[in-house]
Structure 1
Amino acid sequence: MANLLHLDSSADPVRSRSRAIGRRFSEAWLAAHPGNSVTHRDLHRDPLPHLPDAALHWPPRLRPADANPPADAEALQASLIAELLAADVVLVGAPLYNYSMPSSLKAWIDYIHVPAVTAPFDVDTQPMAGRPAVIASSRGASYDEGSPTEGWDHGVPPLKLILGSALGMDVAVLQTSLTLAEDVPALAEQIPRGQAELEAALTEAAELGARLGGAAR
């Protein structure tokens, strides 16, 4: 049996494509092994407070001598890190908002990314090293290579840096673009591409969820 930590951050509980992709992965994960479990944290519905003290960016032994972060924030951080460390796979729903990730998701990162704890200076001691991380990315427009908007996606790259480089996880990205094509007249001709990308991402999510879930220990 294994545990999936599933994070959602979309502000749209009904039409969100990042939620749809994540849900398809989670369903396949549960169906793949009878002992599998899911810990679901909806960062939009139950948002985390912003990190209240810079000292929480560090473990106690590396904080300034006069550091005194709020006890409740320190306890929350400890619980979020414990929840992360208990996950065999991490699934992150990450819609692109204003070319970046939702602030609710960024708040989670600020709590769990702690040098010398979850992100050790020595890569050989990364506690999450080698565990799969799956990013379910949805983007309103397109950001194709060679296009004027290439490089405007500032949501997935930092997630890959944090989860992959800092935490040492094995990162996969399930991505769909042009989610606004049905609402923005200027993008209307891109509706078929947007729908095709969504279907492809849903299929990939089901396959990956089944594969990783079936490999549950």
Structure 2
Amino acid sequence: MPQLLHLDSSADPARSISRQVTARFSDSWHAIGTDHSVIHRDLHLNPLPHLPTSALHWAPHLRTSEESVDAAAEALQTELIEELISADVVLIGAPMYNWSIPSTLKAWIDYVHVPGVTVPFDGDTAPLVGKPAVVVTSRGNDYTPGTDAASTDHATAQLRQVLEFALGMDVRFVPVDLTLAPRVPALASRIPQARANLEAAYSAADELALLLGGSSAGQE
């Protein structure tokens, strides 16, 4: 049964652009067949606690003798990692907040990026290599390559570093720029482009859901 892990992190459940696009992907995934399941984790409505100790950054066998870990925190980390590993495809809604990612999404990353468990350190521990991930990045301004603001998009760079380079996942980004055009007077002239960007993101979500959902089904 192909399984999608769907993560949302926007603090605006009602009007969020990233949530609209991830919902479009999830709906397209469901539409492939009744066997295509979805685990939805809303990191804003049900935020994860921050790591209670830096010891959780390491696999149990890599912790020092002085480091102790609360059993409940370790159980939560195990749950999150197993949930990630078991998914055939991972979908992440990552709006840009202050040129970076929401703290709720960062908390999830801190739980699942673990040398010796999900990241190679003292052995071949790389269970996520090649796993498809789709990241919907919604940005208020225009951050496309070549624009003046492009170098300040730290959200995409951070997620690429963690998901692609560290965890080894096969990451596809679906950017949606100019989401603040209807709200910010200085961007009002670009409202048509904002609408076109959203439509392009919807189309990309549909295409990727069909592509990756079909590939996952073929691997069963």
What amino acid does structure 2 have at the position aligned with 1:174? Answer: V
| C-alpha separation in 1, matches of 2:199 and 2:102 | 24
In structure 2, relative to structure 1, the CA distance for the partners of 1:147 and 1:123 (3 Å cut) is farther
Q: Percent identity?
A: 57
Residue 145 of structure 1: how far off its partner (Å): 3.2
For the 8 Å contact 2:118–2:125, the answer to whether it is kept is: no
Q: How many residues align?
A: 217
The match for 2:31 is 31
Structure 2 runs not aligned, ≥5 long: none
Paired position in structure 1 for 2:72:
72
Aligned partners of 1:31 and 1:210 also within 8 Å: no
1:2 matched residue in structure 2: 2
- Root-mean-square deviation over aligned CA pairs: 1.4
1:86 aligned onto 2:98: no
- Counterpart in 1 of 2:19? 19
Query: Partner residue of 1:145?
Result: 145
Asked whether the 8 Å contact 2:10–2:93 carries over to 1, the reply is yes
TM-score scaled by structure 2?
0.95
Segments ≥4 residues shifted beyond 2 Å: 121-125, 144-148
Runs of 5+ consecutive residues of structure 1 not aligned to the other structure: none
Query: Residue 93 of structure 1 contacts residue 136 of structure 1 at CA under 8 Å; is this kept in 2?
Result: yes
Are the equivalent residues in 2 in contact too, given 1:32–1:211 (CA < 8 A)? Answer: no
Is contact 1:5-1:38 (8 Å) kept?
Answer: yes
Deviates more, 1:57-66 or 1:148-157: 148-157
Q: Deviations over 1:126-159 (max 9, x none)?
A: 1011110000110011123343322111111111
Q: Secondary structure at the match of 2:149?
A: coil
Shift, 1:23, TM fit = 0.6
Counterpart of 1:118? Answer: 118
Residue 123 (structure 1) shift:
8.9
Match of 1:40 in 2: 40
Say whether the 8 Å CA contact 1:5–1:90 is kept in structure 2: yes
What is the distance in 2 between the residues matched to 1:101 and 1:54? Answer: 21
TM-score normalised by L of structure 1: 0.96
